[in-house]
């Protein structure tokens, strides 16, 4: 199975190094020296990593045969693709590869169907599940322990315990409006009763 593990950014310096946007939780494994990676577009690869280092919090790579800034800049925006065994699992029990999570059914603890994971978004602060709902709309679910309480790969589902408003904000707004309308109706009904009672009391 082929997975995108990084995207090449701008050239760094004049000796062929490039910055990379890492898209794997295991850069030391996927992006280490000697790794041979396919590319998208395919015409720029395959690329073999010669050296790698971290500079100012960013990973810098140099590829075999890329020796100057011009050659490095020509690789900009190229996706780096690794061949991964689909049965391979991360070392930590609570970690998952993107391909394991894609297409999982998302349900709440109460059994309410939310949708299906169609994308994993890796942000600096946290990862997000992009979930397509049955009506075609999308909802973003933070992949944090307090919300995603269970990943069941055997049953192909992710169980969530969403805080109020995360997945049903529109429903809550509608419910709030209905509740306000019901409350107003009840108030009007009580007022009518009081008037009627008063009228009855005035009768001889």
| Positions of E strands within 13-126 | 17-22, 36-40, 47-55, 58-63, 79-83, 105-108, 113-122
- Rounded average pLDDT over 118-138: 86
pLDDT band at 87 (very low <50, low <70, confident <90, very high): low
Q: What is the pLDDT of residue 197?
A: 37
Q: What is the tens place of the pLDDT at every residue in 178-199?
A: 444 454 545 444 434 343 433 3
Contact 154, 142 (CB under 8 A): no
pLDDT at 174: 36
pLDDT at 95 (0 to 100) = 75
Per-residue pLDDT band at 203 (split at 50, 70, 90): very low
Global pTM value = 0.53
Rounded Cα gap, residues 153 and 176, in angstroms: 37
Per-residue pLDDT of 14-53, as tens digits, reads 999 999 988 877 788 889 999 999 999 999 989 999 999 9
Rounded CA-CA distance 65/149 in Å is: 47
How large is the average pLDDT for residues 57-62? 91
Task: Supply the pLDDT for residue 88.
Answer: 65
């Amino acid at each position: 199975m082929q997975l995108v593990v990084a995207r090449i950014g701008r050239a760094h310096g004049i000796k062929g190094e490039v910055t990379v946007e890492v898209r794997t939780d295991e850069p030391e494994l996927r992006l280490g020296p000697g790794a041979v990676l396919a590319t998208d577009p395919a015409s720029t690869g395959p690329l073999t990593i010669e050296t790698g280092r971290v500079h100012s919090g960013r990973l810098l790579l140099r590829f075999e045969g890329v020796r100057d800034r011009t050659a490095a800049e020509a690789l900009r925006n190229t996706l780096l693709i690794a061949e991964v065994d689909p049965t391979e699992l991360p070392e930590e029990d609570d970690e998952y590869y993107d391909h394991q999570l894609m297409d999982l059914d998302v349900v709440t603890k109460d059994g309410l169907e939310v949708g299906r994971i169609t994308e994993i978004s890796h942000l600096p602060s946290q990862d997000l599940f992009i979930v397509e709902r049955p009506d075609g709309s999308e909802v973003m679910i933070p992949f944090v322990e307090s919300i995603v309480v269970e990943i069941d790969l055997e049953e192909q589902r992710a169980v969530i315990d969403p805080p109020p408003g995360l997945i049903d904000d529109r429903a809550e707004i509608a419910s709030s409006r209905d509740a306000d309308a019901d409350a107003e109706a009840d108030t009007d009904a009580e007022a009518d009763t009081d008037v009627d009672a008063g009228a009855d009391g005035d009768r001889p």
